């Protein structure tokens, strides 16, 4: 009898969009996604034990990723959860806004483009971050609604 085992099986878990970021590789400014990447010990090609976990922020355009600390991940996971709740209509925009402001209080989680500074003049940084994020989320919600409609048409 022989045993087949390996250490190279990887799985990606997508947690949702977190904040806008300009990508150093493709130079697009988009809503980046939070991921967990696990590497597994496999037995007969079946993943048995995850032996390494990496936390990643990923550009949705070119899939360029940054490895972040677990601590940073825990912080951003709450933002991703909140955004997913809004996208899936589990909370309304007011509740989302209040939660995001609470989560990002005192933190500069966004890098944002100077071209937009006029559009958002007179607003605090938290409000600017929030408004820019809302534009992206609105788009994601419209996409989700379209996808749902297409599914129900079939």
The answer to whether the CB of 8 falls within 8 A of the CB of 39 is yes
> Considering only CA atoms, which of 51, 74, 56, 75 is closest in space to residue 66?
56
Question: Structure tokens of 81?
Answer: 């959860």
User: With binding defined as CB under 5 A, does residue 111 bind Zn ion?
Assistant: no
Count Cβ atoms below 10 Å from residue 126 Cβ, excluding itself: 18
User: With binding defined as CB under 5 A, does residue 33 bind Zn ion?
Assistant: no
User: With binding defined as CB under 5 A, does residue 34 bind Zn ion?
Assistant: no
User: With binding defined as CB under 5 A, does residue 43 bind Zn ion?
Assistant: no
Task: Compare residues 48 and 62 and give the one whose CB is closer to Zn ion.
Answer: 62
Stretch that binds Zn ion, among 20-28, 79-87, 94-102, 139-147 (CB under 5 A): 20-28
Q: Tell the smallest beta-carbon distance from residue 67 to Zn ion (Å).
A: 15
Q: Is 40 left (phi over 0), alpha (psi -120 to 50) or beta?
A: beta
What are the CA-CA distances from residue 61 to residues 23, 84, 86, 114 (Å)?
9, 19, 22, 21
Of positions 23, 57, 86, 87, contacts Zn ion by CB under 5 A: 23
User: With binding defined as CB under 5 A, does residue 130 bind Zn ion?
Assistant: no
Q: Which residues in the 46-85 window bind Zn ion by CB under 5 A?
A: 59, 61-62, 64
For 64, the 3-state DSSP assignment is coil
Task: Compare residues 58 and 128 and give the one whose CB is closer to Zn ion.
Answer: 58
Q: Which residues bind Zn ion (CB under 5 A)?
A: 23, 25-26, 59, 61-62, 64
């Amino acid at each position: 009898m022989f045993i087949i085992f390996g250490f190279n099986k990887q799985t990606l878990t997508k947690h949702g969009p977190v904040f806008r970021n300009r990508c150093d590789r493709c130079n697009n400014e988009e809503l980046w996604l939070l991921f967990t990447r696990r590497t597994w010990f496999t037995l007969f090609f079946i993943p048995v034990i995850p032996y390494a976990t990496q936390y990643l922020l990923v550009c949705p355009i070119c899939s360029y990723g940054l490895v972040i600390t677990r601590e940073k991940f825990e912080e951003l996971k709450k933002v991703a959860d909140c955004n997913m709740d809004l996208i899936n209509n589990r909370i309304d925009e007011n509740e989302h806004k209040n939660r995001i402001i609470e989560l990002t209080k005192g933190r500069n989680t966004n890098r944002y483009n100077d071209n937009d500074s006029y559009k958002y003049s007179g607003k605090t940084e938290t409000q600017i971050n929030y408004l820019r994020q809302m534009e992206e989320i609105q788009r994601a919600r419209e996409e989700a609604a379209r996808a749902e409609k297409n599914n129900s048409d079939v």
